[in-house]
Structure 1
C-alpha cells in the first residue's frame, strides 16, 4: 500500500499532501502519516513553512467509518491536531471539495486556511448523535464567533466558501475553480509572513452582551426530545466550557461530552442507519447507479 501522506519540498515550503481515495478519510494510516510528515518538515532546516493539501476530490470528509466502534488507534486525531497547531513553522491549509467533521477540525488547527471557490465546510457530527470531538467546539467559535459556531454545529449542514470567508473561517479564496499548485503556493506565501498563529490562542468573541445567558436560553430551547438524542445539549455544554474555562480544560471537557454521546444507544442507532445507507449506496454503484461515496463522516 502506498503511503497516504507525502512530504515534498518546493523551495522553502514543505508540501504535505494527503491522498487516500475516495474522500481522504482520516484513518490511522493517514493520521500517523501526517505526524511523520510534520516531524520531517520541522526537522528540515531548508523548510520555513508548510502547506497542507489533499489530492483527489476533497480535502477530507472526516473520520474513517471502518474505525467506528473499535478501540482507539494511535495517534488519535486530537493528538495530530495538537501537533499541527503547535508547529513552530507556519502551516497553511489548502481546502477544496468538502472539509467535514474531523477534516474541518484538522483544517482549523492550521495557522491559515485558503479555499477553492466551490469548497464546502461543515461539522455534521450531530446527525450521528455526536458532537465534534477533536476541538471543533473550541476552535470554531474562536474563528467565527460563538453564535455562528453554535448554529453551524447544531444544524450539521455545510456552508460554502463565500459564507466561510465572511465569517472568518478561511483567510483567502482562489479566483478560479481549478487552482494549480503553483498558484496555491503564491497565495499561501503571502500569509506565512505573519508567522505562526495558533487558533487556540485567538479570542473567543460573541455578539450577545451576556453570552452565557444566551447559551442557557439555547439549552432551554433544546429540551431533551423524545428520541433521547443528547448531542445538541452536549454541544451547548461544550460551548459553555469554551466560554468559561481555559482552552486545555475546555478541550478536555469537550472530549468527555463526546465520549458520553459515543456511549449513548441513540448514537449507535444513528451510526447503524448511516452504515446501512452507505452499503445501499455502494450496492447501487455496483449495479451501475448511485455514486461511489464511502461511509465516512465526522
Structure 2
C-alpha cells in the first residue's frame, strides 16, 4: 500500500481509506494502494466486510488528468473495479462530496453504496468526449435501468444523493 491509501481492521471490518488531497484523484499510486489494500483485506480471514472510504470532504472525483499524457501505469482502474466486484467479501462504498467519473465507477463496483446528504454523483467526462472506461457503461444500466443510465451517460450532469437513491444509484442516504 502507498501512503495515499490506508487500511485499518477491527471487529471484522476492513476500512480502506483513500487520502489523496484535495480531490482524492485516482492516480497510479492510489490505484496501487487500493489494489494492495483490497488484496490484504481479501486474504485476511478476520475480515468479513470491506468499507471503502475517503479522507477529507470528497470521495474520489475522478482520474488524475496529469497522467493522461504519460504512459499508462498499472493497475488500471478497471482492474480495481473488477477486484471490488468479484470480492468474496461484501464491499461497501461510503460516499461523500463529489463522486465523479472514475470515482463513480469505483462506487458502482461495490455491493452497496451509502451516501452522505449533499453528495453529488456523475460522469462528467462525457462532456469532454470521453467514455467511462472502467466498466461504468455496463454497471450503471444494470443498476439503475437504461433510461436513467442514458441520462447520466449522455448529459454528464451530476445528480444529488436523494435523486441517486430514487433511481437506485445509491442504496442509502444517511
Please tell me the TM-score bracket, short chain as reference: over 0.9
Question: Does residue 1:114 correspond to 2:77, yes or no?
Answer: no
Write 1 or 2 for the structure with the bigger share of strand: 2
In structure 1, the gaps of 5 or more residues are 175-298
Q: What is the match of residue 42 of structure 1?
A: 42
The Cα RMSD (Å) is 0.8
How far does residue 169 in structure 1 lie from its aligned partner after superposition?
0.6
Structure 2 matches for 1:172-183, cutoff 5 A? 172-174=172-174
Distance 2:49 2:126 in 1: 35
Equivalent position SS for 2:137 = helix
Structure 2 matches for 1:137-176, cutoff 5 A? 137-174=137-174
Distance 1:110 1:88 in 2: 12
Structure 2 matches for 1:54-133, cutoff 5 A? 54-133=54-133
How far does residue 45 in structure 1 lie from its aligned partner after superposition?
1.1
Distance 2:150 2:125 in 1: 13
Distance 1:132 1:138 in 2: 10
Q: Over residues 52-93 of structure 1, what are the superposed CA-to-partner deviations in whole Å (9 max), with x where a residue is unaligned? A: 000011001100011012221110111111111110100000
How far does residue 44 in structure 1 lie from its aligned partner after superposition?
1.0
Write 1 or 2 for the structure with the bigger share of helix: 1
In structure 2, the gaps of 5 or more residues are none
Distance 1:136 1:123 in 2: 9
Distance 1:130 1:51 in 2: 29
Distance 1:23 1:10 in 2: 27
Distance 2:8 2:118 in 1: 26
Equivalent position SS for 1:94 = strand
TM-score (normalizing by structure 1): 0.57
Q: What is the match of residue 28 of structure 1?
A: 28
Q: Over residues 146-193 of structure 1, what are the superposed CA-to-partner deviations in whole Å (9 max), with x where a residue is unaligned? A: 01111111110100011100000111111xxxxxxxxxxxxxxxxxxx
Q: Structure 1 segments of 4 or more deviating over 4 A?
A: none
